[in-house]
Structure 1
């Protein structure tokens, strides 16, 4: 009887252990939420308020790039790219809306091409306007091939190749040579309705990565095709995630579309970022308002499915903000009205507490604040 009891204990603890990462997948136990502290990962937090004035007012932040110690920030509603220095002081802006030469109707996305050092502005219907870093117009290139309709993001893979991502076309990834106006390759077929929950590619150490809302694989955009970088294993909840069934009603109602999505998939991936130490992801469970975090430690090969941080603050992408992860820090923008949801005074050192209190005292809404979480 004693031997049976010991055997049961061993079996119990074996079952409770996290599934081993024998196949290289990141196992996430969606049935075992945990509560952890942000300071398990970060040593300090820095607030960088973006300068606010009558001429420098941001409605929102869709994308953010760091280049030569400057922040390039896209405000999508105004179709303006604002440039701030590393202290958050305003330097310049690219605001060329119009119908003339060198002007754009709206900015869908932008990038700084590392091979030309030029800034490239993407319009959804196939125009790429090229400027120098001061905003001086250079040229306009176009995406043209039979069947082309719309693209939503741009990435320069090498000196001859751009990769464009489209939310709603059957094949989501387009490899294209802009100089020769030549289609090189298309791939990643997916149900077009899933594009409503699309994620933008992200960059780490000069490479670009692509992930989808319910597909468990994160891809690196290779020089000629997508290559699997890593994948999530949600156990019995894992789905292939490229196909789904939606009703006609869901085409007219986002709430119905969300309902039908969660009838078929137990999770929705909002954000993925990684560095040499960690993989960060934010997920929704049950509905779009139920957001949780996943942090995977590459050294221990263990993940934490985090329902709440001990600091009782939000972390990761909750308004679809751009997040930058380097080996030194995580950087994310925060709307002024959301500051107390992201940071508490107790999380900051004395200098940062003063900045925090000054921001809260403001009688008018301030521009977004960049929050920099420094890794241990």
Structure 2
């Protein structure tokens, strides 16, 4: 009966939303393909490489949660559920871990909700929900501790200059807002965005730097990408993911997608309940939902799900040639969710015993195949590099 109700509601939504979504002319539209699978990986991938992360007693990683790479510093940083951060060089050599500075003493951090490379201090920012930013070198030497006095908890951050930052609030507290803050003057400005249809439980990087510009990609089901205007302290939509007939329409969906500024805990509890109702409905509907989205000057990457059983699809779009490629249902090979794109290289992380499942040997050199064959089941995770054809 539950499935019948979902189907009937979806039919109603489609009937009420048959019109084409209107997009401003100055917004780049990316047509997302969700059904026409690419026939051969070699049609869009030039080569594949593996970067094993060095395995030793002080570098063992369990239950990793977030991963980053910084090209200028040539460093990987990995954050675990135990709130320990590990750093590795670009070729996988272990640098350090944060155990020695994880605590509640002087120059130590606790309750981290996000981490981000800081190009101005040449280190790593760690954020706790109360607005304290701890910054450490890649070897976890203490660099700085600063704080903002935000009206609500914060959960993601990015440095825009040595003193200027941008933050997000957890969805509950506001209706699609980000916070601009100057750590020196404590001046704060809020900026709104729109387009969120539902949440999702797959955390993704929402703040990005591409060249000298900064961008915001909203969490949850939202088809827009925004440029961060650091001068006017606002978000400007610059890109839209067009899923065509597979687009999820907000009209008629149960529950709610976003939070709201309220004063009473009872109202917040109601907001959470309604948001969970919306999320469960969308998840169980079988519609295509983008979970991870990022881009650079040349490519757009989208990882989407439609069956909530862990087998999603990866869509790659070349912004210069307008060509697109789709990996889905393990065809033409199985590509796990990627976490970044550097130039023309997509990066993902994979347990060592799964590496043979996510590569094609014919696109690897003999030296790379040998490295892969030497991996052991209890080794650290492995970084996979997919070199896209330009």
Pairwise TM-score range, normalised by the shorter structure: 0.7 to 0.9
Q: Which structure 2 residues correspond to residues 172-211 of structure 1 after superposition, within 5 A? A: 172-188=177-193, 194=199, 196=201, 199-201=204-206, 202-206=208-212, 207-211=214-218
d(CA) in 1 for partners of 2:254 and 2:138?
45
How far does residue 257 in structure 1 lie from its aligned partner after superposition? 5.9
1:367 corresponds to 2:383: no
Question: Equivalent of 1:115, from 97, 120, 124?
Answer: 120
Structure 1 window deviating more from structure 2 (46-55 vs 295-304): it is 295-304
CA contact (8 A) 2:76 2:88 kept: yes
Match of 2:83 in 1: 79
Give the unaligned 5+ runs of structure 2. Answer: 1-23, 257-268
Q: Which structure 2 residues correspond to residues 240-319 of structure 1 after superposition, within 5 A? A: 245-246=254-255, 258-262=279-283, 266-287=287-308, 289-308=310-329, 310-317=331-338
d(CA) in 1 for partners of 2:251 and 2:54?
42
TM-score normalised by L of structure 1:
0.79
d(CA) in 1 for partners of 2:319 and 2:237?
17
- What is the CA deviation profile of residues 176-218 of structure 1, one whole-angstrom value per residue up to 9, with x for unaligned ones? 1122223222323677972645532144335333134322111
SS at match of 1:300: coil
d(CA) in 2 for partners of 1:354 and 1:208?
39
Structure 1 window deviating more from structure 2 (118-127 vs 67-76): it is 67-76
Q: Which structure 2 residues correspond to residues 1-376 of structure 1 after superposition, within 5 A? A: 24-30=28-34, 32-59=35-62, 60-95=64-99, 96-145=101-150, 147-148=151-152, 150-168=153-171, 169-170=173-174, 171-188=176-193, 194=199, 196=201, 199-201=204-206, 202-206=208-212, 207-223=214-230, 224-239=233-248, 245-246=254-255, 258-262=279-283, 266-287=287-308, 289-308=310-329, 310-317=331-338, 323-359=339-375, 362=376, 364-376=377-389
How far does residue 269 in structure 1 lie from its aligned partner after superposition? 1.1
Structure 1 window deviating more from structure 2 (325-334 vs 246-255): it is 246-255
SS at match of 2:337: coil
SS at match of 1:214: coil
d(CA) in 1 for partners of 2:210 and 2:117?
14
CA contact (8 A) 2:296 2:343 kept: yes
Change (3 A) 1:338 1:284: same
CA contact (8 A) 1:167 1:196 kept: no
d(CA) in 2 for partners of 1:267 and 1:178?
40
- Aligned pair count reads 345
TM-score normalised by L of structure 2:
0.77
Change (3 A) 1:114 1:258: same
CA contact (8 A) 1:345 1:356 kept: no
- What is the CA deviation profile of residues 112-165 of structure 1, one whole-angstrom value per residue up to 9, with x for unaligned ones? 3223334321112221112344422233212213x31x2221111223321112
CA contact (8 A) 1:324 1:332 kept: yes
RMSD: 3.3
Change (3 A) 1:189 1:258: closer
CA contact (8 A) 1:58 1:75 kept: no
How far does residue 83 in structure 1 lie from its aligned partner after superposition? 2.0
- What is the CA deviation profile of residues 268-311 of structure 1, one whole-angstrom value per residue up to 9, with x for unaligned ones? 11111223332111111243534112222223324344434654
Change (3 A) 1:165 1:357: same
How far does residue 343 in structure 1 lie from its aligned partner after superposition? 1.9
How far does residue 334 in structure 1 lie from its aligned partner after superposition? 1.4
SS at match of 2:282: helix
Change (3 A) 1:241 1:218: farther
Change (3 A) 1:338 1:250: farther
Change (3 A) 1:133 1:368: closer
How far does residue 52 in structure 1 lie from its aligned partner after superposition? 0.5
Give the unaligned 5+ runs of structure 1. Answer: 1-20, 318-322
How far does residue 326 in structure 1 lie from its aligned partner after superposition? 1.9
How far does residue 240 in structure 1 lie from its aligned partner after superposition? 6.2
d(CA) in 2 for partners of 1:183 and 1:93?
33
d(CA) in 2 for partners of 1:166 and 1:199?
14
Match of 2:261 in 1: none
